[in-house]
Chain A
Amino acid sequence: MNQLSQTLERFGGVYLLPVFVGLIAFVLIGAPSSWVTLTVAGLSMGMMIFLMASGLSLIFGLMDVLNFGHSAFISFGAFVSASALAYMSGWLGADNIALNLIALFLAFGAALAFGLVAGWFFEVVIIKPVYHDHLRQILITMGALIVSEQIILAVWGGAPVTVPRPAFLEGSWLFGDVTVEIYRAFAFALGLAVYIALYFVLKRTRIGLLIRAGVENREMVEALGFKINRLFVGVFMVGSALAALGGAMWAGYETLITPALGGEMMIVVFIVVIIGGLGSVEGTLLGAIMVGLIANYIGFLAPKLALASNMLLMMAILLWRPSGLKPAVK
């Protein structure tokens, strides 16, 4: 038994979980083509959720700040990019991949820029006065969430908003009898690119080193002569921008969004960071992929269970590992 667990550890430990889940699902689903479609859907969903959740996890890890308003950035990202896309619908529909791409990246850029600015504002105005006070933090960020949702309602109204997609991301690829939606593949690729970039920054740069050290022991980083608050503002801005980007991608994935989107995603994001382990980017990715895969598999195998699947997954993992799958070393 011990030997088995050591072997498992050598091959990736908890990182093997999604593979196991995929294998079990493969057996249960039986039809390889459906399995591939579902797996791609699950992976791309996981990647988008990862973008939304990574910031929350790092922000908590670094500063012990639990931002209940995080989902506001997801909503704003979705709506800002939807508006930008609608504004550039001429370019989006053009039979010209270059124009398509420019429009898409401008829209995502708008969401990112909004996330950066709003994140800065949020950190400096809302969060800074209540560092080290969890109760007031939760209350204040919750209040900020209420206000943000109301602003979205005031600006965009309560009716569902249609999100146009660029022409080159419409449709699916066919490999034999396997269909893969192009947008999903794109979402997966973009999410993966962001993860790799994050990974590189955290592992290879001095800033990344500081962030990882700060997550473990904030005081010691300060005692080494670094101002962690300044670092934290930066992390908060980037985390918020990533959430906005995730929201923007999610909007394109859903193609029809309502102001309820933020609230719905918040629950998923919380579940992801809890099962992944707060403070760790790898854990968040793992949690997001697990949630994405299981949501799609269960949605196919037992649609009635789909709603509770995330909750059950979280409870199972917490009973097994109370600090989550891959928490940051504390």
Chain B
Amino acid sequence: MTHSSPRGALFIKSVVLLIGALLLFAPFLFQETRSLEVAARICIFVVLVASYDLLIGYTGIVSFAHTMFFGFGAYGAAIALKQMGPGWDAVLVGVLAGLAVSIVVAIAIGLLSLRVKAIFFAMITLAAASVVLVLASQLSDLTGGEDGITYKAPQVFKTANKLMVDDAGKVARVFGVKLNGKLAAYYFVFTSCLVLFILCLRMVASPLGTVLKAIRENEARAEAIGYRVVAYRTFVFCIAAVAASLAGSIYAIWLKYTGPDTALSFTIMIDILLMVVIGGMGTMYGAVIGAVLLVLAQYYLRDLMGAASDALHGIPLLPELFEPDRWLLWLGIIFILLVYFFPKGIAGTIWDKGARS
């Protein structure tokens, strides 16, 4: 990424700023419950993907345990809110508990990987994540098993909560949007995610980020430095785990429900992988683009595929392949093609194009 004539970079940054603005005004621009769900999900995944990009894009390590840390955070908040009742003390306890578990496990995996070959890392994280997934469904007393846990969020975020009242004592409206707890919850999600994303951005611009890039660019030379590489990697692994864990807690507070499907399942891990690759590894801004595209696809592509499936009715096999549930098939194919032909993803490719012209 050169500094001369950064047209592509400018374009990417504008797109990301535009997305940020859309997310900021989402409650006013898209006045539907579903749209707000989509916007919140995008915010959460931006953080998840950006923190994952710290690993895969900036350090070159592949972890399949990112969802696991996300789950620790989500379940931490969920269990605390369930056991202690809605309140900020519960949120604090839950967030800290989730963080603590995440950090301990991240260090444990990091230390184990100090002793084994780097290539094992992906396999070990995958194995650890699957064990946690199974544990979550087994320890049903604590986690609610497959059904998950439903609980109440703190008072401020209740939909019935009136942030401001008009003269008639009803909840006030601004541009037709009710100033209620839901709105507060959305801005809680938006602000915390924005802060976390900016922290990730700052981190890659810091001296640490430079070291990480050096490690990624020149494995051989980094190997020569020896154990320090592993130490850096373990540190980044912990940082990414912390970010994922926080994102999980935020999501748990927003959803008021936590279960294997929303917080732990391997599908989320695949989503993160798709987002980071489609957006562009090692760009940070790509996280935003990838998350937006994928979440929108998840919500709206299915409708499109359903229509295609109906249209192909009568032809053997094709309707099955265009089933709305088969959307992952097509994303998988796109994913493979991207890794082959545009390994830098959307953001990386456009960024470089601008730099070259």
Contacts and interface: CB of A to CB of B under 8 A. Distances in A.
Interface residues of B, number: 40
B266 A307 contact: no
B332 A146 contact: yes
B296 interface: no
A142 B340 CA distance: 13
B352 interface: no
A307 B134 contact: yes
Contacts of A270: 123, 126-127
A322 to B, nearest CB: 4
A273 B119 CA distance: 12
B335 A146 contact: yes
B138 interface: yes
B135 interface: yes
Interface string A51-67: 00000000010000010
A271 interface: yes
A196 interface: no
Contact of A318 (B115, B122, B332): B115
Contacts of B127: 267, 270-271, 310-311, 314
Interface stretch (B10-18, B160-168, B196-204, B322-330): B322-330
A314 B119 CA distance: 15
Contact of B115 (A134, A138, A155, A319): A319
A315 B123 CA distance: 12
- State the main secondary structure of chain A at its contact with B: helix
A314 B126 CA distance: 13
A154 B323 contact: yes
Interface string B206-233: 0000000000000000000000000000
Nearest to B270: A146
A307 B138 contact: yes
Contact of B135 (A129, A146, A151, A307): A307
Contacts of B205: none
Contacts of B135: 307-308
B336 A134 contact: no
A78 to B, nearest CB: 19
Contacts of A126: 336
B178 to A, nearest CB: 40
Interface in A284-330: 304, 307-308, 310-311, 314-315, 318-319, 322-323
Contacts of B159: none
Interface string A224-252: 00000000000000000000000000000
Contact of B62 (A129, A135, A271): A135
A135 B130 contact: no
Nearest to B321: A154
Contact of A138 (B122, B325, B326, B332): B122
Given A139-B273, A318-B115, A129 B336 contact: no
A136 B339 contact: yes
B317 interface: yes
A140 B342 CA distance: 12
Contacts of A322: 115-117
A150 B138 contact: no
A266 B130 CA distance: 10
A144 interface: yes
B312 interface: no
Contact of B336 (A143, A153, A273, A311): A143
Given A135-B62, A146-B335, A322-B116, A274 B56 contact: no
A134 B121 CA distance: 12
Contact of B328 (A146, A274, A307, A323): A146
Contact of A154 (B116, B329, B331, B335): B329
Contact of B340 (A129, A155, A263, A319): A129
Interface in B74-122: 112, 115-117, 119-120, 122
Contacts of B336: 126, 140, 143-144, 147
B343 interface: yes
A1 to B, nearest CB: 23
Interface of B: 56, 60, 62, 112, 115-117, 119-120, 122-124, 126-128, 130-131, 134-135, 138, 266, 270, 273, 277, 317, 320-321, 323, 325-326, 328-329, 331-333, 335-336, 339-340, 343
10 closest cross-chain pairs (CB), A and B = A150-B329, A146-B332, A147-B332, A143-B336, A143-B335, A322-B115, A270-B123, A154-B320, A311-B131, A267-B130
Interface of A: 60, 66, 68, 126, 129-130, 134-136, 138-140, 142-144, 146-147, 150-151, 153-155, 263, 266-267, 270-271, 273-274, 304, 307-308, 310-311, 314-315, 318-319, 322-323
16 contacts: A66-B119, A139-B273, A139-B335, A142-B270, A142-B273, A143-B332, A147-B332, A150-B328, A154-B326, A267-B127, A270-B123, A271-B127, A274-B124, A307-B135, A311-B131, A322-B117
